[in-house]
Structure 1
Amino acid sequence: MNTHPVAAVLFDLDGTLLDSAPDLGFALNEVCRENNLPEIPAEVFTPVASHGSRGLLSLTQLDDDTLLTLKPRFLEIYRENLARYSRLFDGIELLLSNLRRHQIKIGIVTNKPEFLTHPLIAQFEALQSISVVVCGDTLEVAKPSPKPLYYAAEQLDVDPKDCIYVGDAERDIIAGRDAGMVTVLAEYGYISSNDQPQQWLADYTIERPDALLELLALSEYTD
């Protein structure tokens, strides 16, 4: 990859930059407690944390109509506890600072809605300087459509073919590939045992965030 000019790196948020599963799981289990349902253990909810409220609530095995009635309460609890336990994945701060040192632009493209994304990002100093943030409801479509990625590239004033998109879900790889970007699968993210990431056809995979620097053949600064 080091022979290809990289103008920008775009990231998914949950499961790629942020380990937000603990707070999503907290909201899920608060809903369970309020409705006298069995709590969901972390090893069960973490792999599906990227699937949003519907995916998490489906772990209760309730019918679709009931899930719809629980969703507003889930979102309310989560909104009130966005950064109770969430944290940056180890190596993210180092990765972002090094990309900036090498004058590579940075953006976020997430399917999380704006009313949750912006308050969450505001809790993490390393993410606050990322000026281009495209959310699930910024446009009329979300990933796996490539349009949010095209929009982020446009906002950064870079050609999509000179961008890398890093994410942990199949929709991330589909969107990045359809946008003509180099795709990188974050294997450290939320990938369940039922997923088949080898079939997603990502261009590259990384087992930890700072491995992207090695992939780009960038010198690493630690100060």
Structure 2
Amino acid sequence: MPSREPLRTVLFDLDGTLADTAPDMHAALVALQREQGVPALPFETVRNQVSNGGAALVRLAFPDAEGDRFETLRLRFLNLYAEHYLCLETRLFPGMETLLQAIENQGLNWGIVTNKPAWLTDPLVRAMDLHQRAVTVISGDTTPQRKPHPMPMLLACEQAACQPAECLYVGDAERDIQAGRAAGTHTLVALYGYIDDAQAAATWGADAAIDHPEQILPWLPAESRVGIASQ
């Protein structure tokens, strides 16, 4: 149910919540596998692991890699992604742009809290032309701790000039909900993101789960609830 506390800020996880980055992450992983002469993993196998970050994707593609070899593959994957695939097919999820406009039109603000490192987050946010709209962008290395620790969430609230109780955080991973709850924000699970049945999102303790960005609208002040079904 929507909060009785007036919301001032909506914060989003990046990969799998605000933006559909899986096609580009998959393309970079396939390029790495081809370089290494191993069969490429299908998109369906990779998609629901994207929110777990580059290391998880490399482990998925190269399960036997360890130590220095694993680290070499991980860095090569990230460099391929940054240099060639960062924002080729990445898009906001359907309905998200109009939701962002609804937030902005109401005089509320929004931002991003991601575990993606800043050297990947910042150019991606700029490429999507969101850098002047987001009131805060917190990356995985912005603070000494990253999600599920509440520190990134608390900094985002500070930069957004809101109290955690005035903030809604939307994410598609358990650590997102853990971080939001620890910081004192309201939390929503984005089921449209990179979640499969094995992740048991219903057990994460979020305030609610949503299947589409339009379902965030009831959490906003009434004046901002514009229809986005056509988006």
Query: Could you tell me the TM-score, scaled by structure 1's length?
Result: 0.95
Q: How does 1:144-163 map to 2 (within 5 A)?
A: 144-163=148-167
65-74 vs 169-178, greater mean Cα deviation: 65-74
The code of the aligned residue for 1:51 comes to N
Q: How does 1:1-223 map to 2 (within 5 A)?
A: 1=2, 3-60=4-61, 61-65=63-67, 66-80=69-83, 81-126=85-130, 128-216=132-220, 217=222, 218-220=224-226
Which string of whole-angstrom CA distances, capped at 9 and with x for unpartnered residues, describes residues 173-220 of structure 1?
000000111101101000123211011011011100121013435420
Any conservation in 2 of the 1:121–1:128 contact (CA below 8 Å)?
no
The code of the aligned residue for 1:63 comes to A
SS at 1:122 equivalent? helix
Give the whole-Å Cα distance in 2 for the aligned partners of 1:215 and 1:109: 19
Query: Could you tell me the TM-score, scaled by structure 2's length?
Result: 0.92
Tell me how large the CA RMSD over aligned residues is. 1.4
Give the whole-Å Cα distance in 1 for the aligned partners of 2:66 and 2:200: 26
Deviation (angstroms), 1:127: 5.3
Any conservation in 1 of the 2:109–2:135 contact (CA below 8 Å)?
no
SS at 1:125 equivalent? coil
Unaligned runs of 5+ in 2: none
SS at 2:143 equivalent? coil
Give the whole-Å Cα distance in 2 for the aligned partners of 1:29 and 1:68: 17
Give the 4+ runs in structure 1 shifted more than 4 A. Answer: none
Any conservation in 2 of the 1:22–1:42 contact (CA below 8 Å)?
yes
Any conservation in 2 of the 1:132–1:156 contact (CA below 8 Å)?
yes
SS at 2:199 equivalent? coil
Any conservation in 2 of the 1:187–1:206 contact (CA below 8 Å)?
yes
Identity %: 42
Unaligned runs of 5+ in 1: none
